[in-house]
Structure 1
Amino acid sequence: MDLELVLAVVSSEFTDLPDAGEVARIVIRLLTAALLGGLLGFNREKHNKSAGLRTHMLVALGAATFVMVPQLAGMEIADLSRVIQGVIAGIGFIGAGTILKHHDEKEVFGLTTAAGIWMTAAIGMACGMGREVTAIISTLLAWAVLGVMHKLFEARDSKKDTA
């Protein structure tokens, strides 16, 4: 085996990283996606929900990768919109798997988890497209909805129990 040939092949396989700036861009986008997904996942895990920290981090990271790779490869926005549609549909399918309907028609569980996974994918896509500020604002709003609304419902339910 010719070592020079092997090194040339290895070198040619890593041509999608033309410079340190591009490497930094990729690392920042993916790291931001994972961290923001982790914020939402931490909230869900703290409340013992089925989709927790790792799930949300992976969903955000995957969504970011799905939109970032074609974008960095020069895909037109019209074509990229089909990738985004595919991610949304796929995540919807995963989210649907978290929804459980019990025998009582009024008893449905997992809707917030499904919506959280869907939101996490949207945040990941925003990161992957280089819209980190939008992703951060969206994460803070989602985190507030999950945290504040949970506390409001707990307070309301505790008042019902004492009445």
Structure 2
Amino acid sequence: MTELDWSEILLRLGVATLAGGAIGLNRDLHSKPIGLKTLGIVGLSTATAVLLAVEFTEPGKITDATSRVIQGILTGIGFLGAGVIVHESERFRVRGLTSAACTFLAACLGIACGTGQWRIVGVALALAFVLLTVGRRIERWLHRALGVRQDRHDRETPSSGA
């Protein structure tokens, strides 16, 4: 079993969050129905799941049992996330992507808690709260700075969960 130190966990989860967020920012600036927070959470979630697999294996080797458990959980959560996103009553309008990404992250954190990887849980949770707290503000600031229309964001309310 490998033991990653705090700085390596922060580096891996932080870069995954930033990379996902950067891609999300690009999508948001092009008026796509996904943004900085959502893809930042997805990057963080997947890095969290992979770190868990790495923590419980010999260096460079993931066991079949660990892989199957994580795959099963994340596949099931994918279906739950789809239900959060698509609402028939809203004419199948895409909404709730960030909530679905947070559902996925909660599953990854549940896996981390179940395996007792408290450092991974702590760093991932802190990064998620930072992203969820300042992500929308960064998107809006960049929209204003770059002169990009904000019609999609203006229709959303802070309590919409998006």
TM-score (norm 1): 0.43
For the pair shown, which has the larger CA radius of gyration, 1 or 2?
A: 1
